[in-house]
Structure 1
């Protein structure tokens, strides 16, 4: 009951707009800088709060409460609504003693995501405005132009000439078709995401790995998370089994915990990490070969971190490409709508000219 009341209290706390954290990537980067200079984690946050929140006193109160309860940096940073996949990296960095480096890396990734989000908004602002303007024109044509031209044609021709009006009506309903496709796609994706989240981790993996194209990026994501977290633990001296146990115990990323459990099952029976990864088949191509090279050289942890950096660069490249493609797609749709608008006007006019 006490925990439930605390959750209600915290939810109302975060719902307050005055508790919003400004420039979160910069906040994490500055914490990293202070940690490298020798400040403690609590002192670093206390120093930076006035520059990133509107009500530092309220934040200090809740952070102090968490410190009194013995909670670590992961639980404290969770208050700032950091995504869970970043919290996993923070949790692992607590174990490895590289919190400052982890926060710096996370701040760069969050800054990149924020820049891509702003870029996407800027790219879509003009097409969306133009789309609203075009929809208004289409509604005006359908409300005033088409009924009037239909009445004129009906008074001068027989019913067999109504095909032109019918075609014009179809063209004028083209935006409706595009909107219907867009709304249907969003609803299907939302339903699919909700369905996936309700499934067991094993079922999630089974479904996602069977979907073309999506399975490629899903494998990249799993590989990136495993390589980064496992590499950080190995490089500071944890054994492979110890590192896998730590990844299983964390509850922030259940997929990573499940994958680590399956890998450890094979490792316990004498399989190498590269062989276990190859047998599972849940990871990006040649990941097992990269691990095998690290096992032979004795620098497995470092090799995993290098591979994680390579995958991170690849994922960022795909994100940039995806964002850059969105605007041309919108303009193509707008161009088709403009052509449809012209045809919806010209076809009845040509018909009327022929009659006259």
Structure 2
């Protein structure tokens, strides 16, 4: 990170002292102004905000100046207004976690609770840096999920378009030629021509189904029944199921590492992580785990061992962390290990999928070409 000149902020502090005293009413106005854009302050913005704030506080910069420095580099006026409001709330007497908690559509309970623990234990700068690292890793994990799913979707879409083009435009040209010449066509050619004649209906139904699925996802993706069935579907896809599961296990370990470092109680940690994971099978498992840990007094590893979604190796290492009282170290080790496995497996999956799709597409295009050129070969040999 580039060196920062703090001299101008000491001058600005004198000029804005009076303005700060009267900022109470302005806070409500700013809150109203930015409320409709709150969701746009996403993971990327949070990663930069927490990392920079943690760095500045660790170097001894006061909270007001730290916010002003961060605001200077933010081009988005609404994001700048958001940080200005948080800063003014802190100056007016609120603690940092309280000022952040006001914006429930932007900052989660996970973040607020971590910051609260950081303030209470005197480790605020460390917690903020960890939150920055958490969102940096979250962005990476989301990109990995997108990367895993995007390539097959793009290839399948291209294959559908190519097949649609050939059936709708190429095959009819050959069909007209064969009709003019007369003669009986091979069975494979007759089948393809019939398929071509119905291609409009077939692809109309296909595109309608795709549109319906998109609408269903947009309207139902937060509902339990939808999340249950889509998660179950993903878990049945060979190769992809294990990769996606590892991505969420990595996120679980990173979240637990952050909360363990902040000394959050296990019941609170499980509740916060459950709400952060966004993976239905793991959420439901953690609900049961929390119930058993809190009400029955079971150890975390004992309860996790009952759920297949948590591998035996992970459970064994968590058991070790409970025995030696080093959960932060173990969860960090697990997170790094899963992250490395994800990168390797993602590369392997990419190399495996590409030739499979090329072969399948080649076979279908080859089928069309054979069906179209077979009558021509028969014509040249005098059998047509």
- TM-score normalised by L of structure 1: 0.66
Q: How does 1:312-327 map to 2 (within 5 A)?
A: 312-327=339-354
Residue 243 (str. 1) matches residue 266 (str. 2): yes
Residue 328 (str. 1) matches residue 351 (str. 2): no
Give the structure 2 partner of residue 350 of structure 1.
377
Residue 275 (str. 1) matches residue 275 (str. 2): no
Q: Are the structure 2 counterparts of residues 162 and 309 from structure 1 closer, same or farther at C-alpha, using a change threshold of 3 Å?
A: closer
Give the structure 1 partner of residue 224 of structure 2.
199
Q: Are the structure 2 counterparts of residues 91 and 294 from structure 1 closer, same or farther at C-alpha, using a change threshold of 3 Å?
A: same
Q: How does 1:132-211 map to 2 (within 5 A)?
A: 135-153=164-182, 157=183, 161=185, 163=187, 165-169=189-193, 191=216, 197-199=222-224, 204=228, 208=232, 211=235
Q: Distance in 1 between matches of 2:318 and 2:328?
A: 9
Q: Distance in 2 between matches of 1:315 and 1:287?
A: 15
Residue 301 (str. 1) matches residue 328 (str. 2): yes
Shift of 1:303: 1.1
Residue 101 (str. 1) matches residue 130 (str. 2): yes
Query: For the aligned residues, what is the CA RMSD?
Result: 5.1
Q: Distance in 1 between matches of 2:171 and 2:199?
A: 12
Q: Are the structure 2 counterparts of residues 296 and 117 from structure 1 closer, same or farther at C-alpha, using a change threshold of 3 Å?
A: closer
Q: Distance in 1 between matches of 2:262 and 2:336?
A: 18
CA contact under 8 A between 1:35 and 1:41: conserved in structure 2? Answer: yes
Residues matched between the structures, number: 332
Q: Distance in 2 between matches of 1:122 and 1:218?
A: 15
Q: Are the structure 2 counterparts of residues 38 and 136 from structure 1 closer, same or farther at C-alpha, using a change threshold of 3 Å?
A: farther
CA contact under 8 A between 1:25 and 1:108: conserved in structure 2? Answer: no
Give the structure 2 partner of residue 3 of structure 1.
none
Residue 64 (str. 1) matches residue 84 (str. 2): yes
Give the structure 1 partner of residue 121 of structure 2.
none
- 1:292-343 CA-partner distances (Å, limit 9, x unpaired): 2122222133212211222233233333444444543443343234313421
- TM-score normalised by L of structure 2: 0.62
Q: Distance in 2 between matches of 1:122 and 1:200?
A: 27
Q: Distance in 2 between matches of 1:200 and 1:211?
A: 16
Identify which of structures 1 and 2 has the higher relative contact order when contacts are C-alpha pairs closer than 8 Å and 6+ apart: 1
Shift of 1:346: 0.8
CA contact under 8 A between 1:266 and 1:276: conserved in structure 2? Answer: yes
- 1:186-212 CA-partner distances (Å, limit 9, x unpaired): 8668757966731279x9499749943
Q: Are the structure 2 counterparts of residues 287 and 344 from structure 1 closer, same or farther at C-alpha, using a change threshold of 3 Å?
A: same
Give the structure 1 partner of residue 236 of structure 2.
212
Structure 1: gaps spanning 5 or more residues: 1-5
Q: Distance in 1 between matches of 2:105 and 2:248?
A: 22
Shift of 1:100: 1.0
CA contact under 8 A between 1:31 and 1:45: conserved in structure 2? Answer: yes
